[in-house]
Structure 1
C-alpha cells in the first residue's frame, strides 16, 4: 500500500463520500474513485458499501481504517523526526541484565528529564541477542560487553566493570586451596561473563561437573550463597544483594579483572536520540 492511497482512503471516510473528499484533496472525482478502486483490487476486498448517496465502511474497511490512522501518524512522526534533530519519539534500547539494573537507571533518568518528548523502552539480553536485534532494526542502541563486531557497529565506552568470582562464605578460599566448586552457575550461552568463568575453570585445569543456567543475577547470588556453586558477576551487582555477607569474593588476575561495557549502534545510522545519549554518557 502507498501512503497516498491511505490518505485518499482516509479523506473519503472523513468526508463521507467521493465528492467532498475530492474537493478537500484538490483532485477530480474520477481520480479519487480510481484510486479507491485500485486500493480495493490490491487488497482483494471491498472497503465501502454504497447506501443511497452515502458511502459506508465495510468490516474490512473498518479494519483498514484503524491501521491507516496509525500508519499515517507514524509517517508524519518520521517526517518530523527527520526534519528536526531534537530527540523525540520512542527510543528502543537494549542492555545486558546487570547494566540495565545497576548502571542505566541514573543516566536514563537524567536523559528523560532532558528530553521529555522521548519515551524509553528497554530490552535485556546477552550481547549476541542484542546485536541481532540491532541489525534487525528492533532496537536503536545497546549496551554490551566487549568485544563487538567493529565492522557492523559504531561504539563508545560507557562503563567499566570488575568481574569477580563468588562462592559461599563457607567455601574454602580458592586462592589457598585451589579447590573450586563442582557446579558453575551462569546465564545462557552468549553471556560474556559465562565465557570468562568457563575460561577461569579451564585455566585452573578443572571442569565443572554441573552447569546451572539461571535468568537473573539475584537468583544466581541466592544459589551461590546457599552453597550450590560458583558464579562470575560484576562487583557492582553484589552491592544490591541483601545477603552479600554470605558470599566469598575472589578477584581475578590483572588483565582479566576488567570488562568494558560499550554503547553500540549500527554503523552510519546514528539518530538524534542515540547522539544525545552518547553525549550524556561522555559527561559522566
Structure 2
C-alpha cells in the first residue's frame, strides 16, 4: 500500500469519480482505474461499488479513508521537515468568506511574495464546516470565528487568535437605534446557513433577550445580505471589517448593540500537523493582526460607501 495509490484513492473519493480524479491528478483514466484495482487486490476487499454512474465507498473504503488522509498528511509533514524548515510545497487554507474578502487579499499577496515556493490553495465555508475539514485532513489550517462551545478544540486542535472582529447590526436606513434586541423593528434575520459562527452568536443574543426572529433568510454572500437589508427585507449581523467592501451603503444603517460584542478569528490546525509553510502564514497573520479595519460610522447613521 504505497502513498501514490492512497493519493489516487483519495482523489477518486474527493472528485466523486475516476474521470474527474484523473483530470485532477493529470493521469489517464485507465491508470487511475488500474491503481484502484491493484489497491483493492492488495487489501483483499472492494473499496468502491458502482451505483449507476456514481462510485460509492464500501464499508471497507469508508474505513480506509481516514487512515489514508492521516498517512498522506504525515508524509507531507515529513517532507516539510526535511526541507531545512524553509516554506515550500502545498498549503491548503480554508477560511470564512468574511475573512477571505476583507482580511486576506493583501496578506496573501504579501505571503506569496515572501514565499513563492509555497502553492497556496484557498477555500471558503462556515466555521463548523471548516473545523470538520481540518479534522479530516482535507485542509492544513483554517480561519474560523471562535466557536460558542468553549471545549470545541479538545486535544485535537491548536489555535492562535489573529484578528478581532466587531459584530454590528445592519438595518434599512431610518430604522430606530438598536441597543438591545427589543429595539429591532423587523422580524426577519438575514444570515448565512447554519454552521456560521456569527449567526450562532446573534441567535444566542436574541435568545438571551427572550425573543427570536420570525424567519431566517439564508443567503450565501455579504453582498446579497446587504442588498436584502437595503431593500427592507430584514436585519443582519456582520463583522464591521467587511462593510468597507460594499459599494453602496446609502440605504443601510449600522448599529452597535451594547452586548453583541467582538469575536476573535482563530487560525486553527491539527495538533502535531505543522509545517514551515503554515508557520510562515501564522507569522504573516500575527504581524498584521493589530491593524484596524479603517471603518467608522455613527451608531444608527447611514454608512457611506468607502
TM-score normalized with structure 1 length: 0.70
Which of 265, 271, 276 matches 2:269? 265
- Alpha-carbon spacing, 1:212–1:154, altered in 2? closer, same or farther (3 Å): same
Which of 190, 210, 213 matches 2:215? 210
- Alpha-carbon spacing, 1:186–1:4, altered in 2? closer, same or farther (3 Å): closer
Q: Which residue of 2 aligns with 1:18?
A: none
- Alpha-carbon spacing, 1:77–1:251, altered in 2? closer, same or farther (3 Å): closer
Deviation of 1:149 (Å): 1.5
- Alpha-carbon spacing, 1:80–1:144, altered in 2? closer, same or farther (3 Å): closer
Deviates more, 1:201-210 or 1:216-225: 201-210
1:83 aligns with 2:82: yes
Aligned pair count?
A: 221
Deviation of 1:199 (Å): 2.2
SS in 2 for 1:128: helix
1:172 aligns with 2:176: yes
Q: Which residue of 1 aligns with 2:26?
A: none
Taking the TM superposition and a 5 Å limit, the aligned residue runs for 1:1-284 are 1-2=1-2, 42=41, 80-84=79-83, 85-147=85-147, 148-175=152-179, 178-254=183-259, 256-284=260-288
Alignment partners' CA distance in 2, 1:76 and 1:142? 20
Q: Deviations over 1:159-217 (max 9, x none)?
A: 01000010000323334982431111011111111112212322333222211000011
Q: Deviations over 1:208-232 (max 9, x none)?
A: 2211000011110110011100000
Q: Deviations over 1:89-133 (max 9, x none)?
A: 221100011001111111111110011011111111111111110
- Alpha-carbon spacing, 1:163–1:4, altered in 2? closer, same or farther (3 Å): closer
Greater C-alpha Rg: 1
Alignment partners' CA distance in 2, 1:135 and 1:3? 20
TM-score normalized with structure 2 length: 0.65
- Alpha-carbon spacing, 1:282–1:238, altered in 2? closer, same or farther (3 Å): closer
Deviation of 1:80 (Å): 4.7
- Alpha-carbon spacing, 1:135–1:222, altered in 2? closer, same or farther (3 Å): same
Report if the CA contact (8 A) 2:178-2:256 is conserved: no
Q: Which runs of 5+ in 2 are unaligned?
A: 6-37, 43-73, 289-306
